[in-house]
Structure 1
Amino acid sequence: MPEPAQLETTKPQKRGPYRTGVRRREQLLAVALDVFAEHGYAGGSLRAIAERAGVSHATLIQHFGSKEGLLIAVLEEWDRRTVADGLADVSGLDYFRRLPEVIAAHRDHRGLLELFTTIAAEASSSSHPARGFIEQRYARNLATLAGHLREAIDDGDIASMTDAQIQIEVRLVTAAMDGIGLQWLLDPSTDVDGSIATYIDRAISAWRRG
């Protein structure tokens, strides 16, 4: 039986292959993200991704199972990186006032925003493999915004709204953020922070007036 000291020295070694596998998976995701962002899902072949990553087609299949599996893994990575963790401690109108920070953060992940914009447009087709993911993400986002708008109403910060009015308002907020993000991709001089901050200020003023 190994001595305790021997056991301690062997434990880190068992984690080595796992860490290597995680790093390789992250590298493949980064390459796939670039390829899908540049060419979309249809144009981003596994062969192109494998060649750019310097691995075999079989390696991609080993890690992700299929092209569809790779796409979903890339989108989940985008979702993980862009979740507004910094907004977890705010609610009501404060949540909306902090939204410029969310879209401003995209400047550090241009490829991710390009990918989402491209795939979201492609996923308008019901047969697209990312259709379910995109639908669910928009549904979660709209539900989150609606919840904070209802909090603002309950707190007396803005006028009362019907559920139908709330749904319209949160869709408009989402459309503004998506639209400004697209304009920035086309024209990097776009004032992302200022545009969203201006829109949110105007929306809050309108909500208060009822």
Structure 2
Amino acid sequence: MPESTQTKTRGPYRTGVRRREQLIVIAMDVFGEHGFAGGSLRTIAEQAGVNHATLIQHFGSKEGLLTAVLEEWDRRTVENGLTDVSGLDYFRRLPEVMAAHENNRGLLELFTTIAAEASNPTHPAHAFITQRYTSNLATLAAHLGEAARIGDIASLSPAQIEIEARLLTGMLDGIGLQWLLDPTTDIRATVATYVERAIASWEGQ
């Protein structure tokens, strides 16, 4: 009897989890194409084949759905090949990480669109995007600082490290946008060229 009850409990739960994941994927596409303001719950619900009440049941509000979408985007980005490397290897992995967007255009569209909108402090994703950039810059600076400490590159001051991290971030964002506008852009080769030039400059300073 207990086993039967457990099975009945887990079945609907798993179904609910799968449905939630499906809704997040659809919302990613809609927000990526139309932004937060233009991507309505009605559009998401219609594409998912559910009603408005189902979205509210799972996420509470449009803002709650956006938060879930951004958390999923962040999870996928972190798991995309950067969890087991450090120092200069971290930077040399970036071309492959960026090239992975070619197989998932929607995620890059989502980030580019929401990041631009979220520069407005009143945007519901402002805190998330601001924290994401702060965290990313800190990660880049930490790996660059590590490379300097172990002698893989010349010694860099904290100010130099911050500038290099910001330049690298600007390049990655810019190449991503160029590829969205022109899919013939060779993301892997372009990012690899920049990274190798950067490493050469760090070694020679």
Q: Place the TM-score, normalised by the shorter chain, in its bin.
A: over 0.9
The 5 A counterparts of 1:52-131 are: 52-84=47-79, 86-131=81-126
What is the identity, as a one-letter code, of the residue corresponding to 1:157?
Answer: D
What is the identity, as a one-letter code, of the residue corresponding to 2:78?
Answer: V
Q: By how many angstroms is 1:86 displaced?
A: 2.7
Name the % identity.
Answer: 71
CA distance, structure 1, for counterparts of residue 136 and residue 192 of structure 2: 18
What is the identity, as a one-letter code, of the residue corresponding to 1:53?
Answer: A
Residues 84 and 102, structure 1, Cα contact 8 Å, conserved in 2:
no
Moved segments of 4+, more than 6 Å: none
Say whether 1:49 aligns with 2:44. Answer: yes
SS in 2 for 1:87: coil
**Residue 24 of structure 1 is aligned with which of 19, 27, 51?**
19
Q: Which runs of 5+ in 2 are unaligned?
A: none
Provide the residue aligned with 2:201 in structure 1. Answer: 206
CA distance, structure 1, for counterparts of residue 187 and residue 159 of structure 2: 29
Q: By how many angstroms is 1:59 displaced?
A: 1.0
SS in 2 for 1:188: coil
**Residue 163 of structure 1 is aligned with which of 152, 158, 173?**
158
CA distance, structure 1, for counterparts of residue 113 and residue 188 of structure 2: 22
SS in 1 for 2:81: helix
SS in 1 for 2:153: coil
CA distance, structure 2, for counterparts of residue 107 and residue 145 of structure 1: 23
- Any idea what the Cα deviations from partners look like across 1:75-101, whole Å, max 9, x if unmatched? 111111111453322211111111111
Q: TM-score by structure 1 length?
A: 0.93
Residues 72 and 130, structure 1, Cα contact 8 Å, conserved in 2:
yes
Residues 32 and 74, structure 1, Cα contact 8 Å, conserved in 2:
yes
CA distance, structure 2, for counterparts of residue 164 and residue 158 of structure 1: 16
The 5 A counterparts of 1:137-176 are: 137-176=132-171
Provide the residue aligned with 1:194 in structure 2. Answer: 189
How many residue pairs get aligned? The number is 205
CA distance, structure 2, for counterparts of residue 98 and residue 27 of structure 1: 30
Q: TM-score by structure 2 length?
A: 0.96
Q: 1:64 to 1:174 in 2, by over 3 A?
A: same
Residues 31 and 110, structure 2, Cα contact 8 Å, conserved in 1:
yes
What is the identity, as a one-letter code, of the residue corresponding to 2:177?
Answer: L
CA distance, structure 1, for counterparts of residue 101 and residue 68 of structure 2: 19
Residues 123 and 129, structure 1, Cα contact 8 Å, conserved in 2:
yes
- Any idea what the Cα deviations from partners look like across 1:20-47, whole Å, max 9, x if unmatched? 1011111111111111111111111111
